[in-house]
Amino acid sequence: MSNTELVALLPLISFATVITIVLLAIPFWRNLKGICALSVVGLLISLATILWTTRIVPIQVTPLVLIDQYALLFMTLICLATVAVALLAYDYLKEREGQQEEFYLLLLLAALGAIVLVCSSHFASFLLGLELLGISLYALISFPIRGQATLEAALKYLILSGVASAFLLFGTALIFAALGTLSFNEMVQGFYVDVGSNRLYVMVGSALMLAGICFKLSLVPFHMWTPDVYEGAPAPVTAFVATVSKGAIFAILLRFFIWTDAYQYESILFGLGIIAVLSMLAGNLLALMQSSVKRILAYSSIAHLGYLLVAFIAGRLAGGAALAVEAASYFLVAYFITTLGAFGVVSIMSNGNRERDLDDIASYEGLFSRRPFLATAFTAMLLSLAGIPLTVGFVGKFYIFAAGVQGALASYGWSLLVALIIGSGIGLYYYLRIVFAMTKRPAATDSAATEWITIPVAGGWVMLTLTGTLLALGVYPTPLIELINSMVRSLPL
Amino acid sequence: MELILFYLAAAISLGTTLMAITRTNAAHALIYFIISLLASAVIFFLVGAPFAAVLEVIVYAGAIMVLFVFVIMMLNLGEAGQRQEQAWLSLSAWIVPAILAAILLAEMVLVLSSSETPIPAQSVTPKQVGESLFGPYILAVEIASMLLLAGLVGAYHLGRRYLEETREDEGE
């Protein structure tokens, strides 16, 4: 391995080093604050190495890993999101009983899995990254020592995620049987055009693989686990599952489709179109009937992944993957900021040694009069999820619409646009329902609703930063757009 | 010849997996599952991957599954457990897996003792496996080590919770 290759691997190496240091520090130094600080500093150092690596990309390091601008952009996003989750989790865990330090070890391992995913260019690293992410998440979801709900959520995730991984593995095996390679780069020439009689294997393999991926992205009809896991998992972990885990998997899906030009399989694209429409409609409709904020956000995230698929498909139908990558990347950034913020509020509300997270919509009543800052931040997040102007969510959704409108001219593209519009319309109702609940005066007898919530220092800063970024990128999105554009230009489209 | 051996092993593998899924008795299911793993090992051997076959036997059929069997058996201590183990030893429970295992053994003996050219025309040696693992796939090995660490830490955390709970129960 040459020096340049080692430099290119620095983000991964520094991540692994931080994990080792944290692992060695925990037995000698049981101190939640210290371990949290160590992890955050380590994450920031990894972030610095990412910036340093930008000078030498794109570079292929062994057949497994491709470090390019695309990978670095998503790595940055994952690192920042993990910092936010780490800080939120500190407040969430500090008043709980038992030893909590392993949380950071597992969180860093999960983030490493996500980082491996976004830079992998080979099925081996893809599957390893996915499993690293998944296995860390099983433990994270059931992390706090408390009732049955978390265990149920973790068990559900363990079993269903295991089945999805099996689908993914079998699909990969079929593709390998047909093509004789697992490397995305080598599939460039032969993946579609030359498969000939092996076409059936590739088709079935891709379908199985997509079923596995759609499960991990919780798209309808593979979404059953989402609300239960989101509800049972501790709020900071829910934020992580909703953002980092899904974002990384979407990034690798997009990478696979661009590199191998799997877009050429019309029927697979059409199947994804049906999944997108179902996700947008079912996600938004099911959210209407929920009374738990976490479940509402879970269904909303299903719908949002449906919007992402619109960019993914319609951008391509319109004739170029460039628009698809651009729209999906911007939307993902917006989705990361907003979802982290929304679950951050739930996390701050649920601090302390509670049996379960405070996610009943009734306990948010009168939040504006009790904690105006928290309520304002939550309102901003919800409006951004709904796609109201001046928030980053608006620009993200604008991109999706732009891609959708261009795709609407081609074959079935219009149905995606219609579902997108209907879904967004329904979405407004349940987002605003939470906002209205927050403005309402609570009934005096309700103890949960009148309880005083202290805003912790770390969580407070995270929320302030997220809200600030949300507004800044909503009002002046140009720098981010330019960054994403330069990334898109560097891709071999 | 090679094809017949392959289809025989494949049929045993499929059949025993089906039996493993449909057994209501966990110990019986595990026995069938072990046979299924042995059958896949024979298939690996037939297609020219003796190293993978050996690993399959040592790691899966050997270490993991035997561990499973022991855990399940140890959970049934006492007189009820003894009766249970008597029931497990009934002829109908072990004769089918035993015959299937014997068939697999016969296949192996046949392949190994045939004086003609070895049946797998080209086989992957352990050296080749090692060279590719620590050559182009070195990062996969490193990531897999992190994967095991994640599993270890997760199991430790969840297991400790169980230990603490039982300790509390005993204290009360």
DSSP string for residues in B126-157: HHHHHHHHTTTTHHHHHHHHHHHHHHHHHHHH
Instruction: Give the gap in angstroms from C-alpha B151 to the nearest C-alpha of chain A.
Output: 6
CA nearest to A104 within chain B: B153
For residue A46, give the nearest of A90, A13, A94, A74 by alpha carbon: A13
At B92, the pLDDT band (50, 70, 90 cuts) reads confident
**pLDDT value of residue B7:** 93
Residue B116 lies in a domain: yes
Q: Do B146 and A142 touch (CB under 8 A)?
A: no
Give the DSSP letter of residue A313. Answer: H
Q: Do A112 and B146 touch (CB under 8 A)?
A: yes
- CATH code at position B99: 1.20.120.1200
Instruction: Give the gap in angstroms from C-alpha A358 to the nearest C-alpha of chain B.
Output: 23
Sign of torsion over alpha carbons B38, B44, B48, B50: negative
Q: Distance between CA atoms of B98 and A159, rounded to whole angstroms?
A: 31
Q: Do B154 and A110 touch (CB under 8 A)?
A: no
Amino acid at A165: S
Q: Chunked in runs of 10, what are the mean pLDDT values of chain A (493 residues)? A: 88 95 93 94 95 88 92 95 95 84 94 95 94 94 78 90 94 89 79 69 90 93 91 93 95 90 82 93 92 93 94 77 89 95 92 77 85 92 93 92 82 86 92 91 60 81 94 93 91 79
Q: Following CA atoms A325, A123, A264, A66 in sequence, which dihedral angle do they give, to the nearest 10 degrees?
A: 40
Structure tokens at B16: 């025993």
Q: Do A19 and B146 touch (CB under 8 A)?
A: yes
Chain B residues with CB under 8 Å of A143 CB are 157
Residue B17 lies in a domain: yes
Q: Distance between CA atoms of A316 and A154, rounded to whole angstroms?
A: 36
Chain B residues with CB under 8 Å of A120 CB are none
Give the DSSP letter of residue A196. Answer: G
**pLDDT value of residue A145:** 65
Residue B129 lies in a domain: no
Residue B117 has pLDDT above 70, yes or no: no
Q: Which of residues 422-451 of A touch B (CB under 8 A)?
A: none
Task: At A146, give phi and psi (nearest 5°).
Answer: -165, -175
Residue B24 lies in a domain: yes
Scored b (16 or more CB within 10 A) or e, A257-287 reads bbbbbbbebeebbebbbebbbbbbbbbbebb
Q: pLDDT tens-digit profile of A103-158? A: 999 999 999 999 999 999 999 999 999 999 999 999 999 888 666 778 888 899 99
Structure tokens at A107: 């969180």
Q: Distance between CA atoms of A341 and A169, rounded to whole angstroms?
A: 34
What would the 3-class secondary structure string for B8-50 be? Answer: HHHHHHHHHHHHHHHCCCHHHHHHHHHHHHHHHHHHHHHCCCH
DSSP B51-106: HHHHHIIIIIIIIIHHHHHHHHHHTS-HHHHHHHHHHHTSHHHHHHHHHHHHHHHH
CA nearest to B162 within chain A: A145
Shared-domain flag, residues B11 and B53? yes
Give the DSSP letter of residue A233. Answer: S
Shared-domain flag, residues B91 and B19? yes
Coil, strand or helix: which one is A492?
Answer: coil
Please identify, among B99, B123, B147, the residue that sits at the C-terminal boundary of a domain. B123
What mean pLDDT is predicted for residues B13-35?
Answer: 89
Scored b (16 or more CB within 10 A) or e, B93-126 reads beebbeebbebbeebbeebeeeeeeebbeeebee
Shared-domain flag, residues B116 and B143? no
Listed range (A51-55, A287-291, B8-12, B116-120) with the worst mean pLDDT:
B116-120
Shared-domain flag, residues B83 and B152? no
Centroid of chain to Cα B85: 22
Q: Distance between CA atoms of A137 and A233, rounded to whole angstroms?
A: 10
Q: Which helix (H) or strand (E) is A486 found in, with range? A: helix A478-489
Q: Do A109 and B149 touch (CB under 8 A)?
A: yes
Q: Do B157 and A135 touch (CB under 8 A)?
A: no
Please identify which residue in the block is written with the tokens 């191998």.
Answer: A260
Q: Distance between CA atoms of A310 and A328, rounded to whole angstroms?
A: 9
- Contact A19/B at CB under 8 A: yes
Instruction: Give the gap in angstroms from C-alpha B113 to the nearest C-alpha of chain A.
Output: 30
Neighbours of A40 (CB within 10 A): 19
Residue B130 lies in a domain: no
Q: Distance between CA atoms of A20 and A17, rounded to whole angstroms?
A: 5
Residue B167 lies in a domain: yes
Q: Give residue ranges of B with CB < 8 Å to any A CB.
A: 136-140, 142-144, 146-147, 149-151, 153-158, 160-161, 164
Residue B98 lies in a domain: yes
Shared-domain flag, residues B97 and B161? no
Q: Which helix (H) or strand (E) is A67 found in, with range? A: strand A65-67
Coil, strand or helix: which one is A354?
Answer: coil
**pLDDT value of residue A192:** 59
**pLDDT value of residue A492:** 79
Residue B30 has pLDDT above 60, yes or no: yes
Q: Distance between CA atoms of A74 and A328, rounded to whole angstroms?
A: 12
Chain B residues with CB under 8 Å of A135 CB are 147, 150-151, 154
**pLDDT value of residue B26:** 79
Residue B26 lies in a domain: yes
Residue B169 has pLDDT above 90, yes or no: no
**pLDDT value of residue A179:** 84
Please identify which residue in the block is written with the tokens 């757009």.
Answer: A481
**pLDDT value of residue A280:** 94
Cα angle value B33/B36/B39 (rounded, 5°): 155
Q: pLDDT tens-digit profile of B49-87? A: 888 899 999 998 888 888 887 887 777 666 777 777 777
Q: Do B136 and A62 touch (CB under 8 A)?
A: yes
Q: Distance between CA atoms of A90 and A37, rounded to whole angstroms?
A: 9
Structure tokens at A406: 């261009």
Sign of torsion over alpha carbons B47, B49, B53, B56: negative
The Cβ-side half-sphere exposure at A323, using a 13 Å CA radius, reads 20
Centroid of chain to Cα A421: 23
**pLDDT value of residue B76:** 65
Shared-domain flag, residues B142 and B69? no
- Which residue among A105, A125, A136 sits closest to B143, beta carbon to beta carbon? A125
**pLDDT value of residue A191:** 61
Task: At A96, give phi and psi (nearest 5°).
Answer: -85, 160
Q: Distance between CA atoms of A227 and A236, rounded to whole angstroms?
A: 15
A159-162 contacts at long range (C-beta below 8 A, 24 or more positions apart): A160/A215, A160/A224, A160/A225, A161/A134, A161/A137, A161/A215, A161/A216, A161/A225
Shared-domain flag, residues B118 and B172? no
Whether the Cβ atoms of residue A484 and residue A70 lie closer than 8 Å to each other: no
**pLDDT value of residue A444:** 59
The Cβ-side half-sphere exposure at A17, using a 13 Å CA radius, reads 13
CA nearest to B150 within chain A: A136
- Which residue among A1, A9, A109 sits closest to B146, beta carbon to beta carbon? A109
Whether the Cβ atoms of residue A216 and residue A246 lie closer than 8 Å to each other: yes
Coil, strand or helix: which one is A101?
Answer: coil
Whether the Cβ atoms of residue A471 and residue A380 lie closer than 8 Å to each other: yes
Shared-domain flag, residues B102 and B75? yes
Q: Distance between CA atoms of A112 and A243, rounded to whole angstroms?
A: 14
Chain A residues with CB under 8 Å of B143 CB are 116, 125, 128-129, 132
Shared-domain flag, residues B117 and B147? no
Structure tokens at A69: 């601008």
Shared-domain flag, residues B74 and B14? yes
Q: Do B157 and A131 touch (CB under 8 A)?
A: no
Chain B interface mutation, best of A61, A67, A97, A109, highest count of B Cβ atoms under 10 Å: A109
- Contact A85/B at CB under 8 A: no
Chain A residues with CB under 8 Å of B134 CB are none
Whether the Cβ atoms of residue A374 and residue A383 lie closer than 8 Å to each other: no
- Contact A172/B at CB under 8 A: no
Shared-domain flag, residues B70 and B8? yes
For residue A339, give the nearest of A227, A438, A235, A233 by alpha carbon: A235
Q: Distance between CA atoms of A36 and A34, rounded to whole angstroms?
A: 5
Domain range for B107: 2-123
What mean pLDDT is predicted for residues B118-138?
Answer: 82
Shared-domain flag, residues B108 and B144? no
Q: Do B154 and A135 touch (CB under 8 A)?
A: yes
Total of domains in chain B: 2
